[in-house]
Structure 1
Amino acid sequence: MRTRAAALTSALAVLAAPAWAQETPAPTPAPVPAPSEWREVAPDNLLVIDTNRGRILIELSPLAAPGHVERIRLLARRQFYDGIVWHRVIDWFMAQTGDPLGNGEGQSWYPNLKGEFTFQRTPETPFVAVARPTGSEIGFIGSLPVQTQPDSLLALNGSGRASSWGLYCPGVAGMARDDDPDSANSQFFLMRQAYPSLEKRYTVWGRVVSGLDVVRAIKVGEGDNGAMVGEPDRMIRVRVASDLPEGERPTVRMADPASAAVAELVRQARQAKGADFSICDIDLPVQVSGGAAPAA
């Protein structure tokens, strides 16, 4: 512990220092990916949600949840989601939609889906680790944050596969269900903040890559029980990008998680957060071009 005299000497030194020496250091500039460090999101894996608040773009993750991704594509192509409200929106948690009744009780006419709470990673899976806590690895598959058994188990468990699951960081898309783990159908939610307690309990099928500000702007409340003031916000149009006319189709480029730019982002986040570092602290750089949204 410092003595009172030492503390006074330190304070006087600060007062005597020139103004430029007392300024807060400028933040470290975010790294800019090189031209070769970008990847384009496949149009068939890009969900375009136009809302009265703005546009949300989600990269679908068929590796993590093939059945749920196929259902989302199918319903978007049937225009099922057009006009549906965000019926349950909880601040610092998530925004839920996909119910044609608008009260949390409805679903599509298709059968319920079997839960896809985990998936299997192989040596060929494009997984990029950013942290290695004891007994597991945390990283990205595309834009999706995931946790997985370590590489060492790929050779030891005889199957060449490692159990993996999506992490509920901000922007992650999950499928709603009731108490039955195999009851997901058409309702889904987008995370406004991180919520780890959902992991391995609700199917992860993608992540918002553009428009998280829109997700967080959706009106909070539950329309069916009077907690929401006024009309709920709604989805105007939901399409798979590959189904849109070329002039209306947005192009999304993401920084490759294996790039030097993302490695530098991770380093900066670790330095800033210390022991509190989380993969949810990493915002992968994104570029969006083209594809005008329809009028609200």
Structure 2
Amino acid sequence: MQFLSDLNGIVWLLAIGMSPVCQAQQTWRALDPENTLVIDTAKGRVIIEMRPDMAPRSVERVKILAREKVYNGLQFHRVIGDFVAQTGNPDNKDNGKSAYPNLAPEMKFKHQRKAIEVWASNASDAASGFFGSVPFQSIPISANQQDWLGWGVHCAGVMGMGRDKPLDSGNSELYFMLGTSRDMDHDYTVVGRVVVGMDVLRTLKQGEPPPSPDIMQSVRLLSDLPGFERPKVSILTGTALRAFIQKVRHEKAADFSVCDVVVPFKME
């Protein structure tokens, strides 16, 4: 039965134009240091993979503010259990802004199949998969298409850009999903996903605002950390990730969703 599952997977890889031999050589992929955010708190470290292929302007804004140390010392000013943790506003409350102009919305994007780590599903109404560790959904995939319209999926661990009511009011605020909330998928820009440190986020003091908020002591890009301090983090990819997804799919059966998959990681 496992052999049949693997054979079907190889047929699927061929159908979308990916070499099974190439995929078999990919088990772990190191995170891109230029697009990996490292947040240190008193409760531990959080490491996020950011995806400029999903939200290029938003990722660039986060990188600029991190390098200018704007995020250092800011509070998690709104934390709701099993829902969301918000931070990143210079005034430590909702509606705060950086000195930069607001961002255009990046809720939806076009993507090419060659950039996708692994597909999770392809049904008649929608497809889903992963850009690295970050889940997305898109219109159904056909073999002769080169790109598709997709959007980020608000699974637990996803990081996005906060905003006010206008869609183009994102600026500096970040939010981290502590649970799954798919009703946000088309309304907010997904920037990345937590790879390491969900346990840290789930221990943040709760409240709107919390009585004694936790803070981001430092927010840096992995590439900016000194070599001796830089963690080596890799995520599962290729056929190994596909097998992991199949295992979760088997366990969940008809209830399976892309949010049931948290891409495994390893640290050296």
Instruction: Describe the shift of the 1:181–1:36 C-alpha distance in structure 2 as closer, same or farther (beyond 3 A).
Output: closer
Instruction: Describe the shift of the 1:135–1:105 C-alpha distance in structure 2 as closer, same or farther (beyond 3 A).
Output: closer
User: 1:277 matched to which residue of 2?
Assistant: 256
Of the candidates 63, 82, 86, which is equivalent to residue 96 of structure 1? 86
Mapped to 1, the partners of 2:27 and 2:259 lie a distance apart of 21
Deviation at 1:234, TM superposition (A): 0.5
Deviation at 1:40, TM superposition (A): 0.5
Mapped to 2, the partners of 1:124 and 1:263 lie a distance apart of 16
User: 2:5 matched to which residue of 1?
Assistant: none
8 Å CA contact 2:118, 2:242 repeated in 1 = no
8 Å CA contact 1:123, 1:154 repeated in 2 = no
Mapped to 2, the partners of 1:210 and 1:174 lie a distance apart of 16
Mapped to 1, the partners of 2:26 and 2:122 lie a distance apart of 27
Deviations 1:151-178 (CA, angstroms, capped at 9, x unpaired):
32863xxxx4310111011100011101
User: 2:64 matched to which residue of 1?
Assistant: 74
Deviation at 1:134, TM superposition (A): 1.9
8 Å CA contact 1:97, 1:189 repeated in 2 = yes
8 Å CA contact 2:233, 2:267 repeated in 1 = yes
> Are residues 1:175 and 2:161 paired?
yes
Mapped to 2, the partners of 1:177 and 1:133 lie a distance apart of 32
Letter in 1 for 2:204: I
Letter in 1 for 2:213: P
Mapped to 1, the partners of 2:129 and 2:28 lie a distance apart of 17
Deviation at 1:149, TM superposition (A): 1.9
Instruction: State the TM-score, normalized to the length of structure 1.
Output: 0.79
User: 2:193 matched to which residue of 1?
Assistant: 207
Matched residue of 2:125: which SS? coil
Mapped to 1, the partners of 2:144 and 2:182 lie a distance apart of 25
Q: Provide the identity percentage.
A: 42
Instruction: Write out aligned runs for 1:151-230 (5 A).
Output: 151-152=141-142, 155=145, 160-223=146-209, 228-229=210-211
Matched residue of 2:39: which SS? strand
Deviations 1:224-266 (CA, angstroms, capped at 9, x unpaired):
xxxx33x10010000001111111211111101x22x222222
Mapped to 1, the partners of 2:78 and 2:143 lie a distance apart of 40
Instruction: Describe the shift of the 1:97–1:154 C-alpha distance in structure 2 as closer, same or farther (beyond 3 A).
Output: farther
Structure 2 unaligned regions, length at least 5:
1-23
User: 1:293 matched to which residue of 2?
Assistant: none
> Are residues 1:118 and 2:108 paired?
yes
Mapped to 2, the partners of 1:89 and 1:184 lie a distance apart of 19
Deviation at 1:96, TM superposition (A): 0.1
Count of matched residue positions in the alignment of Structure 1 and Structure 2: 245
User: 2:234 matched to which residue of 1?
Assistant: 253
Larger radius of gyration: 1
Deviation at 1:127, TM superposition (A): 4.5
Mapped to 1, the partners of 2:49 and 2:91 lie a distance apart of 26
Structure 1 unaligned regions, length at least 5:
1-33, 290-296
User: 2:224 matched to which residue of 1?
Assistant: 243
Mapped to 2, the partners of 1:145 and 1:268 lie a distance apart of 17
Runs (4+) of structure 1 moved beyond 4 Å?
none
Q: Which moved more, 1:242-251 or 1:266-275?
A: 266-275
8 Å CA contact 1:153, 1:162 repeated in 2 = no
Mapped to 1, the partners of 2:166 and 2:79 lie a distance apart of 22
Mapped to 1, the partners of 2:249 and 2:113 lie a distance apart of 27
Instruction: State the TM-score, normalized to the length of structure 2.
Output: 0.87
Deviation at 1:104, TM superposition (A): 1.4
Matched residue of 1:120: which SS? strand
Mapped to 1, the partners of 2:40 and 2:30 lie a distance apart of 21
